[in-house]
Structure 1
Amino acid sequence: MVDSLDLKMPSYMVYCVVVACLGSFSNGWVIGSANIPGEVTHNCEYSASHIASRSFPDCLPMSTSLWGFAVASFCIGGLFGGLFGGAIQTKYGRKKTIIFNNVGWIIGGILIAVSVSPAMFIIGRIFCGLSCGLGSLVTPTYVGEISTIKARGAMGTGNQFFIVIGILLASVIGLPLAKVPLWRINYVIVALPAILQFFLMAGCVESPRYLVSLNRIKEARASLQRLRPHSSIEREFYDMVKGQLGVSTANAGSFDPDMLEDTLSQDSDNEGLHESMGMIQVFRDPLIRRIALTVLTLHIMQQLIGMNAVMYYSTTIFKMAFNEDMSKYMAIVTTVINFISTFISLFLIDRMGRRALLLIAEIGACIFSTLLVIGYVYNIGALLVVSVFGYVLSFAIGVGPIPWMMTSELTPLYASSAVGAVATAMNWAMNFLIAQLFPIIFAGIQGYSFAIFASIAAFSVVYTWYRVPETKGRSLEQIVDNFKKSL
C-alpha cells in the first residue's frame, strides 16, 4: 500500500480544495465587480435627482473621492473579518467557518443590488469585505491543512487562482452589464458562488490537524484517511499528532485512538502539547514571534509592492498609448495575463519551490516598476504597456499567492489562527492604505510614484533572500524545527 506522504493529488482532497476556493472566487468577484460598471454606477447625469425619482434609481450619485472610498470600503470589512477570523475558526472549526462565511457575500450582494443611496452601497461593500477578510484567512488555512506535502504548493496557489478567476469574470461579464439597470445584477452575482459553497461544503471533511488540536483523535484519523484514500496514513498521522500533542502521545499504541486519547489525558505535561495562542501571546513567545514577523513582512510587502495601484491605474496608463475605448479592453487583457500567470504558478511552485519563485517574482516587480517610471516620464507608450504586463506577470507567479500559502506552511497549528488573523488584518489594512493614499501621491508626483514600489520590491528581494525559508517538500513540523534551531 502506498504511503500517504508519497501521494500527490487524491481526487477527494482536490474536490475539498476546489469547494473551499469557491470563497476565493467570491473574493475576486468583489474586487473586480466595481471596475467596469463603476462609471454607470456612480456618475449620474442629473446628480441627486436620481435618488428621488424612483424606487431603484438609475445610479447612485457620488463624487470621485466618495466613489473611491465606496470601492475601497470592502477593505475595512476585510480588516475586521481577518482580525476576528482567527478566534472564529479556532472555536467553530475550518469547515463551519467556511460555510458561515458565505452569509456576508449573500447579504452584501443583495444590499448593493437594491441600493437606493451611496450609504447603502457602502454598507453592502463592507458586508462583502467581512467575508473576504475571513475567507482570506480560513481558506488558505483549510487548504494548507488538508493538502498532501507533494501537492501543497499547487493546492495553496488555488486560493489566489480562484481570486484571479473571479476578477477576470467580473471584468468580462461587467462589460455587457455596465448599463442601467443591469449594473445591479453585476453586484448581486457574488451571492451565487456563496450559495453554492454553502451547500457543497457540507460534503467536505473537517481539517484533520484541527481535529487533532481538539484531541478528537478518532475523527482526525478518519478525516485524514478519507483525504488519503487507499494509502497508509501511519507516518503522516504520527507527524501530525507529534507536532501538536508531543512524542509520547504520538508513540502511544501504534495509533490506537483510545490509547492516544488515554495517553494524552495522563500526560498533561507533554512537551508537544500547546494551548491555542491569542494575538498578544504570539509576540511573547520567541519562536512564534520570529515566525509571525516573517509572515507579517511577507503580507506587508505583498501590498506595498503596489499591484493594486497598478491595476487601479492601468486604464489611465494605457490611455497614454491607446484611445479610451481600447484602454478598457487593454485593462481586461491585463486581467487575462494575471489569470494565465497565476495558472502557470500552479505548476511552477512545487517544482521550483516557494522561496526561489518568490525571489524571481520580486526581482521582476522591481525591474518592471522601474521601467514603468521610465515609460511614464518619457511618454513611451510601448514601454508602459510592456511594463504593466511584465509587472502583473511577476506579481501573479509569486508575490500574489505565496504569502497566503506560507502563512499556514510556516506556523504551528496552535498559533496558526492568531498569526493568520494578524497577517490577514495587516494585509487588508495595507490594501486600504494604498487605495486611499496612492491617488494623492500620484496626483503629486505622477509617474515617479511607481519608484516607491520599485524600492519596496528591491527591499523585499533582500528580505526574502536572508529571512524566508524554503518550505517545498517539508512538513510543518520540520519547518518549525528549523525555526527553533535558528533562534
Structure 2
Amino acid sequence: MGVNIGGPNLYNGFIVPWTRGHPFPCQKEGSTSQWIARKWWDCVYNDTTKNLNGYYYLPEISTKALIGQRLKDSMHNVLFVIGGFIGAFSGQYWYKCLSRRNAIFASMPFQLVASIFMIITLYIYRGYETDDPDQTTIDKATKNKDVAISFFYISRFLSGFSAGMCCVVSTSYLNEISPRALRGTVGSCHQLAIVIGILFGQIIGLPWILGRHNAWNWGMSWVGLLSLMGSIFIWTLPESPRWLVQERKQNEAAQSLRKLRQSNDIEVELIEFEEEETASNKQDLGILKVLSLNEFRWPLITTGLRDEKVFWGILATGVINLIATLVALKLIEFLGRRPLIIWPLAGIIIVMIGLTILIVLNAKNSEDKKDALAIVSIIFILLFIILFAVGLGPIPFVYSNEVFAVEARAAGLSSAMFINWFCNFLVTLFFLPLQSASGGYVFLVFCVLVALSFVLLFFKMPETKNKKLQEIQAFWK
C-alpha cells in the first residue's frame, strides 16, 4: 500500500502527459520527472515554454478548462482510492467467510494482477525514441492509447482494492495475535509498513533508478513481487487464536497461541479469549445495525475519522515520516492512544493556519522574499508530517480493533476503514480543483474539519491502553 502511495507522486511527470495524449516526454540525464512533452503535437517551441532544464511544457490550458483538466489528471489517484474504499467495505465479508490468515492471502492476487496490467500499459502505448518522428510513427505509437490507458486505470483500481481490503484484514490479524501489553505497538506495525513502503517507493522513483519516461510502469508495478512473496510466506504464520476460539477450535487455538508466545503458559490468555467470546456470543452484526446502536456508533465515529495528508514526493518527507512512526511505536504504549490523537490534532490546526498565511504571503511578495518563505513552509510541512505520523497515522488501525465487541468487529472495522478511504477519495477528487479555485486558502477547509474532529474526539474518545473490552465499552453506555 505504501509503495502505491509514495511512488505515483514521483511519476506524475510522465503519467500526466501520457494520459493527456503526449506519451513521449524527453528527459535529460539525472533529471527528475518534470511533466513536459516534446515540442511536436500542439506544443509550442519558444523561450517562454522552455524551462531551465530544457524541457517543453504541455500546451497551456485555459482558466475555464483548468479545473476539469486537473480532475482528469488526478483520475489515476481517484480510482486508487475508490478501489480502496470498496475493498475496505468488502473486508468484513472476507473477514467473516475466511480465516484471518486466508483473508490476508486473498488480498494479494488483486495486487499481482494490477502489477501485470501496469507493466503492459507502457509496452502497448509507449512511443518512440527518435527526435523527429514522421506521422506514421506517431500514428503507430498512439494506436493503442485507449486500451493502454484503460489497463492503467484498472490497475490503479485493483491496487486500491487490495490495499483497502488489506487495511481491514491485516490490522485485525495483528490485533488478535498480540498480547494486551503490546497491542498498540504490534498494531502500529501496519502503519510502519505503509510508511516504509512510501519511502521505498520514493527511492525507486528516483531518475537514476526507475523514475524515467521508459521505466515508470515498472516503478509502479514491482510491488506485485511483494504480493507474490507474501502469498508464499503467509502460510508460515499461525492462524489467529481469537478467531479459532470464535470458531470453537480450542485445541488449534491453544497450538497457535503456544507458537505465538513461544511458551506453554497460555491458559490465562486462552481463558480470557473464551470469556470474551462467551460474553459476546451473539449473531454477527451488519453495518446498519452497528450504526443504529449507541454503544457501537461512537466507536465507529471515533475510529473512522482520520485526517488526510498531502504527500509531497520528496525523500525528506518519507524519512521524517518513517522516523516519527518509529517514535510512535514507543509512545503508543507509554502515553496511550488518546493523547496521541487529541494533541497532534491541535498542532495540525496551528500548522494549517500557518501554511495558509505563508502561501498567501508568498503570492504577494517579491522573489527575494519567496525563498525565505519557502524554507519556512517546508518546516511547517515537516511539522505536519511529524504530527500525523506520531498518532493520526498508526493509531486508527490499532484503536479500531480495540473498541468493537466480537459480534460488531467485522462490520465496525470495515465501516471505519471505508469511511477513511472515502475521505481519501474526497480529498483526492477535490483538492486540485479547490486549490485552483481558492489558492492557498484551500487549507482552511481542512483546518475546519480538523477542528471539528478535535472537539468530537476530545469528548467522545476513551483511552484503550491496557483495558479490557468491557471497560472500554462502558465509556459509551
Q: Which range, TM-score by smaller chain?
A: 0.7 to 0.9
Q: Which residue of 2 aligns with 1:274?
A: 282
Which AA in structure 2 matches 1:94? R
- Distance (whole Å) between structure 1 residues aligned to residue 117 and residue 166 of structure 2: 20
CA contact (8 A) 1:288 1:411 kept: yes
**Structural mapping, 1:313-324, within 5 Å:** 314=312
Residue from 312, 315, 322 that aligns with 1:339: 322
Q: Which residue of 2 aligns with 1:414?
A: 407
Matched, 1:171 2:202: yes
Q: Which residue of 1 aligns with 2:47?
A: none
Q: How far did 1:49 drift?
A: 7.7
Residue from 131, 138, 150 that aligns with 2:162: 131
- Distance (whole Å) between structure 2 residues aligned to residue 101 and residue 49 of structure 1: 32
- Distance (whole Å) between structure 2 residues aligned to residue 64 and residue 449 of structure 1: 15
CA contact (8 A) 2:70 2:433 kept: no
Q: Which residue of 1 aligns with 2:131?
A: none
Deviations 1:388-407 (A, max 9, x none): 01011101111111112111
- Distance (whole Å) between structure 2 residues aligned to residue 46 and residue 416 of structure 1: 44
Which AA in structure 2 matches 1:28? G
- Distance (whole Å) between structure 1 residues aligned to residue 183 and residue 414 of structure 2: 21
Which AA in structure 1 matches 2:201? A
- Could you tell which deviates more after superposition, 132-141 or 284-293? 284-293
* Partner SS, residue 232 of structure 1: coil
CA contact (8 A) 1:36 1:178 kept: yes
Unaligned runs of 5+ in 2: 25-36, 42-57, 59-68, 125-147, 363-372
- Distance (whole Å) between structure 2 residues aligned to residue 195 and residue 166 of structure 1: 16
- Distance (whole Å) between structure 2 residues aligned to residue 177 and residue 171 of structure 1: 10
- Distance (whole Å) between structure 2 residues aligned to residue 372 and residue 38 of structure 1: 24
Residue from 13, 17, 20 that aligns with 1:39: 13
- Could you tell which deviates more after superposition, 85-94 or 377-386? 377-386
Residue from 183, 188, 204 that aligns with 2:221: 188
Q: Which residue of 2 aligns with 1:78?
A: 84
Matched, 1:211 2:255: no
CA contact (8 A) 2:115 2:224 kept: yes
- Distance (whole Å) between structure 2 residues aligned to residue 384 and residue 284 of structure 1: 44
Q: Alignment length, in residue pairs?
A: 401
CA contact (8 A) 2:83 2:164 kept: yes
Q: Which residue of 1 aligns with 2:101?
A: 95
- Distance (whole Å) between structure 2 residues aligned to residue 365 and residue 180 of structure 1: 36
Q: Which residue of 1 aligns with 2:292?
A: 284
* Partner SS, residue 365 of structure 1: helix
Which AA in structure 1 matches 2:163? C
- Distance (whole Å) between structure 1 residues aligned to residue 412 and residue 235 of structure 2: 27
Q: How far did 1:283 drift?
A: 2.4
- Distance (whole Å) between structure 1 residues aligned to residue 194 and residue 386 of structure 2: 15
Q: Which residue of 2 aligns with 1:382?
A: 375
Deviations 1:405-443 (A, max 9, x none): 111011112211101111111111110111111112111
Q: Which residue of 2 aligns with 1:68?
A: 74
CA contact (8 A) 1:210 1:413 kept: no
- Distance (whole Å) between structure 2 residues aligned to residue 456 and residue 49 of structure 1: 39
**Identical pairs, percent:** 28
Q: CA RMSD in A?
A: 2.3
CA contact (8 A) 1:371 1:383 kept: no
Distance 1:64 1:39, change over 3 A: farther
Distance 1:216 1:284, change over 3 A: farther
TM-score, normalised by the number of residues in structure 1: 0.78
- Distance (whole Å) between structure 2 residues aligned to residue 288 and residue 217 of structure 1: 28
- Distance (whole Å) between structure 1 residues aligned to residue 6 and residue 22 of structure 2: 26
- Distance (whole Å) between structure 2 residues aligned to residue 413 and residue 465 of structure 1: 26
- Distance (whole Å) between structure 2 residues aligned to residue 434 and residue 154 of structure 1: 29
- Distance (whole Å) between structure 2 residues aligned to residue 41 and residue 440 of structure 1: 18
- Could you tell which deviates more after superposition, 105-114 or 354-363? 354-363
Which AA in structure 1 matches 2:211? A
Largest Rg, 1 or 2:
2
* Partner SS, residue 114 of structure 1: helix
Unaligned runs of 5+ in 1: 1-26, 51-58, 247-271, 315-327
Q: How far did 1:161 drift?
A: 0.7
* Partner SS, residue 206 of structure 1: coil
- Distance (whole Å) between structure 1 residues aligned to residue 459 and residue 18 of structure 2: 52
Q: Which residue of 2 aligns with 1:306?
A: 308
Which AA in structure 2 matches 1:363? A
Deviations 1:209-238 (A, max 9, x none): 111222222222222222122252222222
Q: Which residue of 2 aligns with 1:107?
A: 113
- Distance (whole Å) between structure 2 residues aligned to residue 370 and residue 35 of structure 1: 25
Deviations 1:263-305 (A, max 9, x none): xxxxxxxxx411221112212334223332332xxx23x1xx3
CA contact (8 A) 1:213 1:245 kept: no
- Distance (whole Å) between structure 2 residues aligned to residue 164 and residue 477 of structure 1: 33
CA contact (8 A) 2:118 2:218 kept: no
Structure with bigger helix share is: 1
Which AA in structure 2 matches 1:421? S
* Partner SS, residue 230 of structure 1: coil
Q: Which residue of 2 aligns with 1:321?
A: none
- Could you tell which deviates more after superposition, 173-182 or 231-240? 231-240
- Distance (whole Å) between structure 2 residues aligned to residue 231 and residue 275 of structure 1: 32
- Could you tell which deviates more after superposition, 283-292 or 410-419? 283-292
Matched, 1:237 2:270: yes
Q: Which residue of 1 aligns with 2:4?
A: 30
- Distance (whole Å) between structure 1 residues aligned to residue 395 and residue 426 of structure 2: 21
Matched, 1:453 2:449: no
- Distance (whole Å) between structure 2 residues aligned to residue 348 and residue 49 of structure 1: 47
* Partner SS, residue 8 of structure 2: coil
* Partner SS, residue 154 of structure 2: helix
Matched, 1:426 2:426: no
